[in-house]
Amino acid sequence: MGSFRFGVAMHSVGGREEWNKKCRQAERFGYDVILVPDHLGLPAPFSAMVAAAGVTEWPRIGSFVLNTSFWNPTLLARDVVTADQLTDGRLEVGLGAGHRKEEFEATGFPWRPLAERIDHLERTIDHLSGAYEEAIRADTLIQRPGPPLFLGGNSDRLLALAARHADIVGFSALTKGPAPQGFRILSAEVMAERVAFFRSAAGARAAEVELNILVRDVVITDDRDGEARRWHERTPDLSLEEFLAAPAVLLGRVDEIAAQVCSWRDRFGFRYLTVHEPWLETFAPVIEALSGE
């Protein structure tokens, strides 16, 4: 694969005018993919994705990622095929098993063991494949054999599923942790093991699959060491050196962050990075610095 790709996960719509402005801004800054998560309190994915495509010219549009436990496969396939048409074939379909128990409780969906949630995810993938074949016969699908499939997650079962089916696999350097942070950063060694597990499971397919990493925060600063020490206070389970090596937080001058991104590519194979919407503008100079890499 060639150069980097960069995505931004949008957190709010704010009305049509504001949404249009933000999507055009993402395009102007050079983001390759405009992404919409699937969480309560955030925008509804498909309407936001189609609207984003309507006001931009070239960025791809994706879900990041749909909680398939909340979706009927037949109805989801209808939405995907329609969105493929309305985005002029720029759609990327991100799917996951769902991991926030409180959202299941709030919606009334049963909270099932991870294995059962991944079973449903696998059934959904199979159903989408069948629906794509029908849509191709009906000449209603633009991307053939179907929109690129993004699977997000770190578990053995999810990565094994991605090894068989995904065009893109999304890793997260965060896992649930104790309060007050509510998260824990995985070390570089753990992340390297997860990537190696995926590559082993994928075999010859591994070279064809794009690897994505979700960035926790982006901090532009001339005092990288001082900022790292402040962050390290929030991640006491890692040494300062381990924190700086972990693919989770980008901090430093623009050139230092660009070097950090390249080091993640070289060590883990991450050529597709996603940042959260609050860092939309902050990360833009890094995209410019890495153009042509």
Instruction: Give the mean pLDDT of 151-167.
Output: 96
Give pLDDT, residue 111.
95
Lowest mean pLDDT among 45-49, 97-101, 232-236: 232-236
Integer CA distances (angstroms), 244 to 27, 75, 196, 214, 271, in order: 30, 44, 21, 16, 19
Average pLDDT rounded to a whole number, residues 33-61: 97
Residue where the block lists tokens 């991104």: 261
Neighbours of 197 (CB within 10 A): 16
Tens of pLDDT, residue by residue over 161-194, are: 999 999 999 999 987 655 445 578 999 999 999 9
| Among 290, 289, 190, CA closest to 245 | 190
Is residue 2 over pLDDT 50? no
pLDDT of residue 1: 40
CA distance 130 to 145: 10
What was the pLDDT predicted at 245? Answer: 93
At residue 235, the pLDDT reads 81
Tell me the helices (H) and strands (E) count for the chain, helix number first: 11, 13
Instruction: Give the residue-averaged pLDDT of 281-285.
Output: 98
Mean pLDDT of 119-129: 97
Give the tens place of pLDDT for each residue, 69-88: 999 999 999 999 999 999 99
**Which region among 179-193, 202-216, 271-285 has the lowest average model confidence (pLDDT)?**
179-193
For the stretch 197-202, contacts whose Cβ atoms lie closer than 8 Å and that sit 24 or more positions apart, written own/partner, are 197/156, 197/159, 198/159, 198/162, 198/163, 198/169, 201/159, 201/160, 201/163, 202/162, 202/163, 202/164
Crossing angle of the two packed helices 156-165 and 188-202, in degrees rounded to 10: 40
Q: Is the pLDDT of residue 230 over 80?
A: yes
When pLDDT is cut at 50, 70 and 90, the band that residue 233 belongs to is: confident
Residue 155: pLDDT above 70? Answer: yes
Residue 44 burial class via C-beta count within 10 angstroms: exposed 0-12, middle 13-18, buried 19 and up: exposed
The pLDDT, as a whole number, for residue 56 is: 98
pLDDT of residue 177: 59
How much of the chain is in helix, strand and coil states, percent to nearest 5? 50, 20, 30
Find how far residue 153's CA is from the centre of its chain.
9
Neighbouring residues of 18: CB distance < 8 A, sequence distance ≥ 6: none
pTM of the full structure: 0.95
Higher pLDDT, 233 or 162: 162
Residue of higher predicted confidence among 4 and 184: 4
Record the tokens describing residue 34, joined without a space. Answer: 């405009």
| pLDDT band (50, 70, 90) for residue 198 | very high
Give the domain 5-289 fold: TIM Barrel (3.20.20)
pLDDT above 80: residue 37: yes
Please give the mean pLDDT across all residues of the chain.
94
